[in-house]
Amino acid sequence: MNNGLAAVVLAAGKGTRMKSALPKVLHPICGKPMLAYPLDATRQAGIEQISVVIGHQADQVKDAFAGQDLVWVEQTEQLGTGHALMCAAESLEGFTGTLLLLCGDVPLLQADVLEQVLHYHKHEKATVTVLTAEMEEPTGYGRIVRTNEQVTQIVEEKDATKEQRSINEINTGTYLFDAKFVFSALKNLKTDNAQGEYYLTDVVAAAANAGHKVRGVVIPDSTQMMGINDRRQLAEAEAVMRWHINSELMAEGVSMIDPTTVYVDKGVEIGNDTTLHPNVQLRGKTKIGRNCIIETGVVVVDSTIADGAHLKAGSAIEESQIGPDCKIGPMAHLRPGTVLTGSNKIGNFVETKKAVLGEGSQSSHLTYIGDAEVGKNVNFGCGTITCNYDGANKHKTTIDDDVFIGSDVQFVAPVNIGRNSLIGAGSTITKDVPADSLAISRSEQKVIEGWALKKKPKKS
C-alpha cells in the first residue's frame, strides 16, 4: 500500500427493479457491461489500485472481468454505502492516500471529470470532496447542505426536512476521501435513520463537525451522474452514450446519414470518409477501414473491414476479415472464420463459413461456401454449395486459382479442384479434379418429341 490514489467501486446491489436474472452491473450498454465504464474512467484518471465491492451473484460478476487487475470484496449483506466501504477497508489496509469512491451503476461519468475533481481535492487540501449536480427535479436524491464553500451535511430525502427537500444540489454518490480519516470515521457510523443502514453521508457530517475541510464540486453535465435502476434508465443511458460515440466518430471524419439510428459499440474503430447509412449496427471488436460504404440494416460483429469495402443492405458479418475493395450483399451472411483477401464479391443470399477466398474470387448469388479454401479469380455459379458435413464430421473443399464453376454445382467434401478447371453446371463433384480439366457429372438428357401433345387433355 502507498499514499497515492486508490478507488472503491460499489457494485453489490441486486438491482431488483431490473427484473432480471443478470446482475445489474452486467447489463450491457453499447456493447460493454455497465460496470466496465466506471472501471475504465477510474483507470483513465490515473488510478490503478481498484477494489470492487460485490454481493449479488458475485461469481458471475468476477467471471465477467476475469484477468483484470482488480481486488474483489464481498458484501454479503447490503446494509448501505457506509457498510460497503467498511467491507473494503481490509483490502486497503495501510493505505493513507486519497480514496475515490464511486458507484458501479453510473456508467456515463467521464474520466476528465474525475481528473478535475482529483485536482480540486488536492488543491483545496480537503478531507472530503463530494461530486454534486444541480437538478430541477431532485426527488429521490440526497441534498447537499452548505455554508458558503463548506459542505456541512448530506441529507437523504427520507430524512430531509421540507426546507432541505427544496435544495436542488444533489449528492451523486461519488466522493474523494482522505483515507486515514474515512476509515477512522466508519467505526463511528450508526443505523439510526429511516433506512436502518450505515450512511456514508454521515462521514461527511462527521468531517464537517470535526472542523475538517469538506468541499462539493458541481458537475456541469448532470447526465453523467445518471444512475441505472431499471430498464428505462438503461435505455436512456445507452441513448446518451450512443450519441457521444457517434458525435466523436463524426468529428473524426465518419459520415452518418442519420446518426440517431446508427448503433456503434464502445471501442469500435472506423476510418475517415466512411459512410454509415441508417440502422447500421457495428458491434464488439469491430474495425472498419477508410472510404467504406455501409448500407441500411448491415450488422457487423467482431470483424475487420478493410478500406474501400461496400457492405450492401441487410448483410450480416460475424467474426470475419474482409479485405480491401470487397463488395458484400445485399442480404449476404458471412459467418465466423470467413476471410476475403480483397476485391471479392459476395452477392445476395450467399452464405460463407470458415471460408478463405483469394483475391478477385466471387459468388454473386444463392451460394453456400463452408469449410473451404478458395484461390484467386474463382467464379461460383448460382446455386453452388460445398457439402461439408456428412452427419458426423466437417470436411474441407479446396479450389485452386482461376476455376470457373457453373450453376447448381455440389462439391461433396473432401474434394480438391485443380487450377484453371471448369465445372459444368448441374454437376455433383465427388472426386478430385486435376488442373486444366472439364468436370461434368449429370444424367444424359433425353428428348421425346410429341410427348406433351399425347399427354395434355384435349380442349372442348
Residue 141 annotated as part of some ligand binding site = no
Q: Residue 229 annotated as binding? A: yes
Q: Determine the longest span between alpha carbons in the chain, in angstroms.
A: 112
- 116 assigned ligand-binding residue: no
User: Which of 304, 308, 273, 271 is closest to 286 using CA atoms?
Assistant: 304
The C-alpha angle with vertex 266 and arms to 264 and 268, in degrees rounded to 5, equals 65
Among 56, 212, 244, 365, the one annotated catalytic: 365
26 is in an annotated binding site: no
* Residue 353 annotated as part of some ligand binding site: yes
201-209 and 179-186 helices, crossing angle to 10°: 110
* 24 marked as binding residue: yes
Supply the DSSP string of 155-204, one letter for each residue.
Answer: E-GGG--HHHHT--EEEEEEEEEEHHHHHHHHTT----STT-S--THHHH
Q: Give CA angle at 111 (3, 76), nearest 5°.
A: 65
Q: Report which secondary-structure segment, H or E, holds 294.
A: strand 293-294
389 is in an annotated binding site: yes
**416 in a known ligand binding site:** no
Question: Is 171 within any annotated ligand binding site?
Answer: yes
Q: Is 345 annotated as a binding residue?
A: no
Measured in degrees and rounded to the nearest 5, phi and psi for residue 167 equal: -70, 135
Does the annotation flag 314 for ligand binding?
Answer: no
DSSP 266-288: TT-EE-TT-EE-TT-EEESS-EE
Residue 120 assigned to a binding site = no
Grid cell, residue 287, equals: 474495425
Q: Is 31 annotated as a binding residue?
A: no
Residue 175 in marked binding region: no
377 known ligand binder: no
* All cell numbers assigned to 137: 427535479
Amino acid at residue number 278: P
Q: Please name every residue paired with 177 in a beta bridge, in sequence order, or none if there are none.
A: 99, 128
Q: Does the annotation count 365 as an active-site position?
A: yes
Check the annotation: does 425 bind a ligand. yes
The H or E element spanning position 411 is strand 410-412
Question: Has 12 been labeled as part of a binding site?
Answer: yes
2 is in an annotated binding site: no
Q: Which residue reads 473451404 in cell numbers?
A: 372
- Consult the annotation and say whether 327 binds a ligand: no
* The residue type at 330: P
Q: Is residue 84 part of an annotated ligand binding site?
A: no
Supply 308's cell numbers. Answer: 474501400
Do 387 and 371 touch, CB atoms closer than 8 A? no
Residue holding cell 483507470?
43
Please choose, from the candidates 273, 242, 304, 93, the residue with its C-alpha nearest in 3D space to the C-alpha of residue 179: 93
Residue that the C-alpha cell 444541480 belongs to: 134
Residue positions forming the annotated binding site: 10-13, 24, 75, 80-81, 105, 142, 156, 171, 229, 335, 353, 368, 379, 388-389, 407, 425, 442
Residue set of the binding site for UDP-N-acetyl-alpha-D-glucosamine: 10-13, 24, 75, 80-81, 142, 156, 171, 229, 335, 353, 368, 379
Which residues line the annotated binding site for acetyl-CoA? 388-389, 407, 425, 442
Catalytic residues, by residue number, are 365
Q: Residues annotated as binding site for Mg(2+)?
A: 105, 229
